[in-house]
Amino acid sequence: MHMQVLGTWRWMLGLAVTPALVQLVLMMFLSESPRWLYHKNRKEKATTVLFKIYPSPRLEDEIAILEDHLEQESKNKVKMAGFKSNESSLFLSLVVSALNAAGTILGIYLIDIARRKSFGWLAIVGLGVYILLFALGMGPVPWTMNSEIYPEEYRGLCAGMSVTVNWISSVIMSTSFLSMAEGIGLGQSFLILLGVAVLAIVFVIIYMPEIKGLTFEEVADIWN
């Protein structure tokens, strides 16, 4: 109904600019990272920023921890990590195949027990559950970890690379999915996405450390 009003879609998309403009203005009032300032030997400015965050007793502790970490910081470059062996790749393939087989077997029995129309509603409910769980986990958590998990000297570079890869992947997915679905079928297309999701889950379980409650210095020590 609203699409019949001329120019409505422009207003709908244009409203998304408002939060971006608010964020742009607020960013002008942000202070530089105290760790970055310490790396640039601007210790007085870093202390001023820390003073805005921490009360006096803890302020001295944070400064001491930061200085100690910078003195002991390793200068080794971050290396790209991959799967260690062919056995790992084979295991991941088996996981995807097992999930596919389990879903198929379950569907064989359920399709005779439940009405055919019920499976349509099941898909809608599943989509709603996915959106809810994505908003709880894979939506915000990677962005949070992306700002916390890298050592100070590589944080800007690695965070920028991660965001770039994320948006490039989104563009590729958006422009290729319909062609892929038309070429190999919708079900097979989603199976490919399922495989990617399983790979991501296994990667997180094996390689990603838990950083809740850790300082940036303690996170850097994990990689060292």
Kindly report the CATH number that applies to the domain delimited by 80-224. Answer: 1.20.1250.20
CATH 1.20.1250.20 domain locations along the chain: 80-224
Please state which of the ranges 1-5, 70-74, 124-128 shows the lowest mean pLDDT: 1-5
At residue 170, does pLDDT exceed 80?
A: yes
The pLDDT value recorded for residue 82 is 44
Please state which of the ranges 112-121, 135-144, 203-212 shows the lowest mean pLDDT: 112-121
Q: Model-level pTM?
A: 0.49
Half-sphere exposure of 131 (CA within 13 A, CB side): 5
pLDDT confidence tier of residue 187, bands split at 50, 70 and 90: confident
The pLDDT value recorded for residue 75 is 45
The pLDDT value recorded for residue 207 is 84
Instruction: Report CA dihedral (131, 136, 139, 141) to the nearest 10 degrees.
Output: -170
- Percent helix / strand / coil, the chain, rounded to 5: 75, 0, 25
Closest CA to 120 of 129, 112, 111, 132: 111
pLDDT confidence tier of residue 78, bands split at 50, 70 and 90: very low
Average pLDDT value for residue range 96-123: 69
Q: What is the pLDDT of residues 32-74, one digit of tens each?
A: 877 778 777 787 888 888 787 777 777 777 777 777 777 666 4
67 CB contacts (<8 Å, ≥6 apart)?
38
| Neighbour count for residue 197 (Cβ, 10 Å) | 14
Greater confidence (31 vs 87) lies with: 31
The pLDDT value recorded for residue 73 is 60
Q: Which two tokens stand for residue 178?
A: 């319909």
Q: What is the pLDDT of residues 4-31, one digit of tens each?
A: 556 677 787 788 888 888 888 988 888 7
pLDDT confidence tier of residue 116, bands split at 50, 70 and 90: low
Average pLDDT value for residue range 115-143: 78
CA–CA gap between residue 212 and residue 219 (Å, rounded): 10
Closest CA to 106 of 90, 91, 119: 119
The pLDDT value recorded for residue 89 is 54
Closest CA to 141 of 214, 218, 79, 210: 210
The pLDDT value recorded for residue 111 is 66
Greater confidence (209 vs 107) lies with: 209
